Amino acid sequence: MKKCIKCGLPETYETIEFDDSGVCNICQQHHFKTESIDWVKRKTMLNDLVEEYRGKHDYDCLVPFSGGKDSTYTLYYLVKEFKLKPLVVQFNHGFMRPNLLKNNERTFKKLGVDVISFTPNWKVVKCLMREALIRKGDFCWHCHTGIFAYPMHLAIKFNIPLVFWGEPSSEYTAYYDYRDDEIEVVDESRFNRFVNLGITADDMRGMIDKDFDLDPRDLIPYSYPPLRDLKKLRYRSVCLGSFIPWDVKSQSQLIMDELGWKGDEVEGMPPDLYPYEKIECAMQGVRDYLKFLKRGYSRVTQMTAIDIRNGRIKKSEADELIREWEGKKPRSLELFLEFLDISESEFNDIVKRLVIPPYEPKFQTIQWGKKTSDFDLWYREDK
Ligand SMILES: [Zn+2]
């Protein structure tokens, strides 16, 4: 496969393009961010935005919260820097790990915030995972749509127009461009553009209706609220990272020091290097494994690419890590197959249809990865 000569991202990476010298568009975009954005001006814009909404409703803002490093930092920043009173909304995807739950409790108590946690019907979740896996090779539809749509329902219910998300998507892909000097808006068009994989809740209803006794209301948490309700609210839904430079490493360190937030090991990732990444979900290993089977790289490549751009590691060190960690079969796959009631060969058959050329997965040579230390505590269904 063709790879960026600077950061190593391969041609199967979403939205990637290469210039004549073999450097990718994401590397070029990064260069723009560090050189040309007027962060002082952006901070002033943030101050103005916050002051516009302060004290006018029951809450100053709503913060969708997963408990990962980005939403934890966002919440920390808004409470400490601006003394805002947020409503924290947590969409529980069903796979929260023990360490994450402890982190969350500590964060909420230390910051002193009101929290609403919502957990959707597990039977519906399993059904949605299965359908999204078969259709798109991406079982996280329920989680991504729920995380982005559900808080908007609560924003309407509680009449909270200002919604703060964490990192902007320009940090990872070129769907949105820092160059536009525009604030990335987290709205329905963004939702349809790359959150819901082109499948709306309505589509999903039609797809799963035949083999699942679905109540149409079961899918409300996954659908964007009606436009008229959002318009009435006159909402502003933005990423904090559009206003302040987003630096994952230093922010993670800060929440560790200030909130006692703890990282965790994640299947398929070097534990010492990225203990703060994607610790929210017990199925992360399966997600990364799927990406590897479809595209020939996984998150080690993605993370080291960011570090290379930031001058934190050498390309040769990254290559070494990728060789050691990438492409192992996660132990969580066993649980995943059990939840979805499919066999591994059925899983592989689904994946085969979705591989992005020129990559070709070699199923027969793949080895099992190690259990994480909390693996035996993860939810299992009785056989
Ligand atoms: Zn690159």
- Please give the distance, rounded to the nearest whole angstrom, from the Cα atom of residue 240 to the centre of ligand 1: 25
Instruction: Measure 8 CA to ligand 1 centroid, in angstroms.
Output: 6
Q: State the pLDDT confidence band at 257, using cuts at 50, 70 and 90.
A: very high
Interval between CA 308 and ligand 1 midpoint (Å): 9
- pLDDT tens digits for 125-162? 999 999 999 988 899 999 999 999 999 999 999 999 99
Question: Does the pTM exceed 0.75?
Answer: yes
Interval 29-46 mean pLDDT: 81
Q: Cα(105) to centroid of ligand 1, in Å? A: 38
The Å distance, Cα 175 to ligand 1 centre, comes to 15
Q: Ligand 1: distance of its center to the CA of 17 in Å?
A: 9
3-class SS at 376? helix
32 vs 16: CA distance, rounded Å: 16
Q: What is the pLDDT of residue 9?
A: 96
Q: Residue 297 C-alpha to ligand 1 middle, in angstroms?
A: 14
Instruction: Give residue 296's region: left, alpha or beta (phi > 0; psi -120 to 50).
Output: left
* DSSP result, 196-262: STT--HHHHHHHHGGGS---GGGGGGGSPPPHHHHHHHT-EEEEGGGTS---HHHHHHHHHHHH---
Structural contact between residues 101 and 378, judged by C-beta atoms closer than 8 angstroms: no
Cβ 90 vs Cβ 272: under 8 Å: no
Per-residue b/e over 258-267, b at no fewer than 16 CB within 10 Å? ebebebbbbb
Sheet strand arrangement including 86-91:
114-118, 86-91, 61-64, 162-165, 236-239
Query: Which pLDDT tens digit goes with each residue over 152-207?
Result: 999 999 999 999 999 876 544 444 455 555 677 888 888 887 788 888 888 898 88
Residue 152 alpha carbon to ligand 1 centre in Å: 35
Q: How far is ligand 1, taken at its centre, from the CA of residue 180, in Å?
A: 20
| 43-47, 225-229, 246-250: segment of lowest average pLDDT | 246-250
User: Which pLDDT does position 277 carry in this prediction?
Assistant: 87
Q: What is the pLDDT of residue 175?
A: 46
Lookup result for tokens 């010298």 = 21
* CA 171 to ligand 1 center in whole angstroms: 13
Q: What does the alpha-carbon distance between residue 27 and residue 24 come to, in Å, rounded to a whole number?
A: 5
- How many A from CA of 288 to the centre of ligand 1? 20
Q: List CB-based neighbours of ion ligand 1 within 5 Å.
A: 4, 6-7, 24, 27
* 13 vs 251: CA distance, rounded Å: 26
Rounded mean pLDDT, 264-289: 93
Question: Among residues of the chain, what percentage have pLDDT more than 90?
Answer: 77
Cα angle, residue 206 at apex, residues 203 and 209 outer, rounded to 5°: 140
From the CA of 363, how far away is ligand 1's center (Å)? 28
In three-state secondary structure terms, 368 is strand
Question: What is the CA(160)–ligand 1 centre distance, in A?
Answer: 39
Separation of CA 292 and ligand 1 centre (Å): 18
Residue 64 parent element (H or E)? strand 61-64
On whether the CB atoms of residues 330 and 289 are closer than 8 A, the answer is: yes
Query: HEC states along 78-118?
Result: HHHHHCCCEEEEEECCCCECHHHHHHHHHHHHHHCCEEEEE
Q: Measured in angstroms, how far is the CA atom of residue 20 from the centroid of ligand 1?
A: 13
Output the six-digit token pair for 359.
């990559």
Q: Which two tokens stand for residue 366?
A: 């793949």
Please give the distance, rounded to the nearest whole angstrom, from the Cα atom of residue 168 to the centre of ligand 1: 18
Whether residue 294 has pLDDT greater than 90: yes
How far does the centroid of ligand 1 lie from the alpha carbon of residue 216, in Å?
44
Average pLDDT, integer, range 86-103: 97
